[in-house]
Structure 1
Amino acid sequence: MKDLSVNIGKKKILKHINLNIEEGTVTALVGPSGSGKTTLLRTLNLLQIPTAGSLKVGTTTAIAGKIDTKTIHDLRQNSAMVFQQFNLFKNLTALENVANPLIYTNLANKKEAHKTALKILKKIGLEEVITQYPATLSGGQQQRVSIARAVAVRPRVILFDEPTSALDPELVESVLQTIAGLAKENITMILVTHEMDFARQIADEAVFIENGEVLSKGPAKELLSGRTSPRIDSFINSLKRSAFA
């Protein structure tokens, strides 16, 4: 990301973001609500078009003012996004939700796609629900299916937008374990999260964003330790307080 900025109407949401994320690493985007984290994530997938600056994923570069449908298509071929809400197709089984994107994007024929989907769903412990529809799955299971769908297309980077925020507390752990498993496989991931303990454990780097700007960045274990700067320490402590409220 180079001088990446986003304005919505007259409001400046992101201001000159400069970040370089190494392949095979996990990066946690943290900061207060309304700081621009989700907008940044959406911009990386061109769900939000930047006002200025540029971004590059793999070999695809998107330059503000020069982004056409081909640029959007090419960039999204390199990335996949996991949303807060699971966004599964209600009329498709768990297996079909994971397999069909492979078929639609011509990455595999139906037989190969179903084989790949089954392998991934088995790996994350969802073998028993492959024939079930989303309405019959728990929130945690639905989110893990959406993660499997993202992994199946073999993207250069997976973008997670607070993947546990819509879940009941008892369902959060299974989703976090699934993401942690992916981190061990050196899959490049960018994660917006308020789960500070989790971010410290799995992220290589952390980026603290506030008011649309990068306030600080560095190794996650150091930046999120609660001993780096008064502002970040205050933010981390506020999360601890709300957790016990």
Structure 2
Amino acid sequence: MRQKLPAEAAWLTCTLDATSGAKRDEYLEAARLAAAVTLLVAGRDSRARTVALAGLTVTSALRHRRYGFQSDGSEQLLFQVQLASTTARLGGKNKRITDACLWYISLQSTLAYAVAGYSKLAGAHWRSGEALPGILRTETYGSGTAFRWVSRHPRTARLASYATTAGECLFPLIFFVGNGKSAPLFLLPAGAFHLINSGAMGLGRFFWAFTSSYPALLYTAQKRASKAEIHGH
């Protein structure tokens, strides 16, 4: 990791050195736990809530220097949600900043779904329906129970593969179907998809990361629907 840093970024090297090491990692995780608890119990407009959220954002960035090689889409999206939420809170009562941050979260989430869908569409194994059984038989993302089930029901497994790919590719329509009024019809199956993956593939972090963007998606879809009604009148 050190070799990837540019020579002129000495300040960054010093920062990473100062926060690296087993003991410092323990302090960092303890601080993150304290910030997470504070975020849950502090009042909605509390300054402590803002500090806690900012702390989680900064420490998420610092953790990446150690876990960057094993991080996944859930951590990347969650960091975007934390960063935008912190920016909105630091903006105080400025509604334009808040709206911009909510749109940022919504578009990041939408992009994550769409990119995942179109990358699957480019894969021959996903188009043939063979990808899902193949994933479920791996040690990292697999499940013996789920693999045996899809092996006994190959047609259902193919339909699940097609439905997953189609749902992700079509997710950007959340802002256009019914001018955003149909957003819950997109988010309910998407949330159920992540919940099933939590049990079948052990991707519990994806459930929390992606559903953390749903309030912003609902808000922005509602804003679009409201504007459509105003223009209609």
What's the TM-score bracket when you normalise by the shorter of the two chains? Answer: 0.3 to 0.5
Normalising by structure 1, we get a TM-score of: 0.32
Greater fraction of residues in strand = 1
Give the number of the structure whose alpha-carbon radius of gyration is greater.
2
More helix by share: 2
Larger RCO (CA within 8 A; separation ≥ 6): 1
